[in-house]
Amino acid sequence: MKTRTIEWQNGTVVTIDQAKLPHEKVVLGLKNCEEVAEAIKTMKIRGAPLLGAAAAYALALTAYHSKAKSREELISELEKAAETVRGTRPTAVNLFWAIDRILVKAKNYSGDAKALSAFVLEEAQKIADEDATANRSIGKYGAALISDGDVVLTHCNAGALATVEYGTALGVVRASWEQGKKIRVIATETRPKLQGARLTTYELKKDGIPVTLIADSAVGYLMHKRLIDKVVVGADRIVRDAVINKIGTFAIAVLAKEHGIPFYVAAPKSTFDLKRTSANTVVEERKSEEITHIGSHRIAPEDVDIINPAFDMTPLKYVSAIICESGILYKADFNKLKASLGFK
């Protein structure tokens, strides 16, 4: 995918409606913070790094269209916009990281309202650019872990569509493919929102990378039959004791360990939240209709109880390595990283 998943075009945020893919390619032009927030809530925009870029652009829209007369007035508008965006989805830390980064910098900026508005847009552009660069680096480092002929399983969609461009887990796949390695990808369908079936297969087929779609429940069987060499997934938040990613990731990691299959996580540093542990992370609980229905067709009885968490926690003991833009972090490095960031 050569074009960006999200872009700023003259006061509008342009992105693709991922809820409609792969059947319809609808381009959205979002004009204010509320429209971005709505697109996030309805998962037209999704995927942790993309949520970070979208949150940054939501604040840029507020600043760009503001009529504030003073710097203080604009900052209060930005704080209000930040609250709106923070209330959309709770788990991917990139969204909160991008908002905090912009607010802190805006508050330390001494120019007037007009200059501050330009500064906020510049910072949002930087966040998007940095994500694009980080994904290329993740791809380059991660490709060293992938051998010619490997069959790589991935879960959900951690591709170009989940990021500004190129992807994290699929960045590793893309870089390996670009190096001439004849790899194949197994994509899980990823119930209930089917990001694997709808988005991962769509992206990879567009790039001509061989991909096979499986039901989520087929992972154990394929591993037992030695049909999977490696697992590479993305992350929504990496905390001190776990990787938080799409529901089903934990089960895949346990199965991988049981079968001696490496389990890699690919994520930019904006996904790291080492102040937190899994115990104090909010896991998004989504609508019961995602489970009771397939499309608009009800499949479950009317009165059935539903639990529908969107993410789960994979303890670090199941993670062979984390690939980020600075390199590959093996288990021993996890502790070093925490120390380098000031955590014991």
Compute how many residues bind ligand MRU; rule: CB under 6 A: 17
Nearer to ligand MRU, 113 or 159 (CB): 159
Q: Which is nearer to ligand MRU, 41 or 80 (CB)?
A: 41
| Rounded Cα gap, residues 212 and 252, in angstroms | 17
Largest pairwise CA distance in the chain: 66
Mark out the alpha helices in the chain (DSSP H runs).
33-41, 48-64, 71-86, 93-108, 113-143, 169-178, 195, 201-207, 219-224, 249-258, 289-292, 331-340
Residue 235 Cβ vs ligand MRU, minimum distance, rounded to whole Å: 6
Using the rule CB under 6 A, is 237 a contact of ligand MRU? no
Q: Which of 150, 216, 236, 273 is catalytic?
A: 236
Q: Decide: is 319 part of the binding site for ligand MRU (CB under 6 A).
A: no
Binding map of ligand MRU across residues 73-112, x = CB under 6 A, - = no contact: -------------------x--------------------
Contact 54, 40 (CB under 8 A): yes
241 has catalytic annotation: no
| CA separation for the pair 188, 156 (Å, rounded) | 7
Which helix (H) or strand (E) segment holds residue 298: the answer is: strand 297-298
**Binding test (CB under 6 A) with ligand MRU, winner from 6, 33, 36, 47:** 47
Closer of 85 and 121 to ligand MRU (Cβ)? 85
* Shortest distance (Å) from residue 205 CB to ligand MRU: 19
How many angstroms separate the CA atoms of 203 and 97, rounded? 27
- Piece of 120-128, 162-170, 253-261, 299-307 that binds ligand MRU (CB under 6 A): 162-170
Q: Which residue in the set 203, 216, 236, 312 belongs to the binding site for ligand MRU (CB under 6 A)?
A: 236
Query: Which of 138, 153, 162, 231 is close enough to bind ligand MRU by CB under 6 A?
Result: 162
**In the structure encoding, which two tokens stand for residue 304, read together?**
């059935």
Residues 257-286 that bind ligand MRU (CB under 6 A): none
**Of the ranges 143-151, 160-168, 317-325, 335-343, which one interacts with ligand MRU (CB under 6 A)?**
160-168
Six-digit token string for 29: 């032009």
Residue 68 — left, alpha, or beta (φ > 0 → left; ψ -120 to 50 → alpha)?
A: beta
Of the ranges 40-48, 106-114, 288-296, 312-320, which one interacts with ligand MRU (CB under 6 A)? Answer: 40-48
Burial category of 50 from C-beta neighbours within 10 Å (exposed 0-12, middle 13-18, buried 19 and up): buried
From the number of C-beta atoms within 10 Å of its C-beta (0-12, 13-18, 19+), residue 181 rates as middle
Instruction: Please pick, from the candidates 32, 66, 137, 195, the single residue that binds ligand MRU as defined by CB under 6 A.
Output: 195
**Residue ranges that bind ligand MRU, judged by CB under 6 A:** 46-49, 92, 156, 158, 162-163, 168, 195, 234-236, 245-246, 310
